[in-house]
Structures are given as structure tokens and as C-alpha cells.
Amino acid sequence: MRQYSKLEQRLLNEFQQGMPLTSTPYADIAKQLGVYETTVLETLKRLQTEGVVSRVGAVFRPNRIGASTLAAMAVPATELENVAAIVNGFDEVNHNYEREHRFNLWFVVVASDEERLDKVLAEIEERCGYPVLDLPLLNEHFIDLGFDLKWT
């Protein structure tokens, strides 16, 4: 198992939420961590390249800017990793995860508008070869998605 540096651990744990809302967020993070801004940027880029972090950016309340939906697919277990990689290849996919259910691959899609959202869902379905179940938001609930990561 990969060992994470203290800087990586702090970036992964402390900045899941509370990204500085300034014109220089990475410089502000670097100052808090006592490192250079370029070090923060290079570390985050490396974590993204390694697949540890899927994206770094703001998360807005659903459908306040653009359009979004939760989607699910029923994928044979033997193809799940490959299909998840295809889904992750779309810039509009916020994150995806496996669930123990017939619909075992779940993901969030955020697009500029409803038309683009529908097009992305259709493209995912076409490229993956499995139907996409579109589960648009009906009732809004706040769920804190920050996780206190434990380092051994």
C-alpha cells in the first residue's frame, strides 16, 4: 500500500472542504501548510495523475449553476472497472462509486445545461454499452461528504 507524505495527508484531509474563497486559493493553502504554492499544485496534480484525487474544485448546490443528476448503471462485475474508467473520462462526471446492488455503478453528472446533461448521459450509455438510469434531484438534502482520513 502506498505511503502518503505528511503534506499529502494534510492536503487530502484538511482541504476536502473549506477551500479558500479568494483569488489565490492555492497560495493561501500553501501558506497554511508552510510550503510553496508550486509545491501544493504539483502535489495535487500528482495525486490526480495517480487517481487518488479525481478533481479539485468547487461543489455547488445542485442545479444552481447548470444542470446535474445522479445516475446509475447495472454493470457485470467483470466489466465494472473498465466501465468506471470510461465514465470517469467525462469531464462532467463529478465522482462515481460502486454499490452492492443490481445498479452497482453510481455517478454524478454536472453540465452547463439540461441539453448538455442529456447528451453526456447518452454518450456514456453509448460508449459503455449499458443503459444509464437518470435519477434527477426531487428533494434536496445536505450531506457532508468530508471524510476524516486515518493514517497508519
Q: What is the DSSP string of 116-135?
A: HHHHHHHHHHHHHTS--EEE
Domain boundaries in the chain?
6-49, 67-135
> What is d(CA 106, CA 52) in angstroms, rounded to the nearest whole number?
18
Beta partners for 134? Answer: 71
User: According to the CATH classification, is domain 67-135 in 3.30.70.3460?
Assistant: yes
What the block records as the C-alpha cell of 97 is 462509486
pLDDT tens digit sequence for 56-66: 877 666 667 78
What the block records as the C-alpha cell of 20 is 479558500
24 versus 150: the higher-pLDDT residue is: 24
pLDDT tens digit sequence for 111-150: 999 999 999 999 999 999 999 999 987 777 766 667 777 7
> What is d(CA 108, CA 94) in angstroms, rounded to the nearest whole number?
5
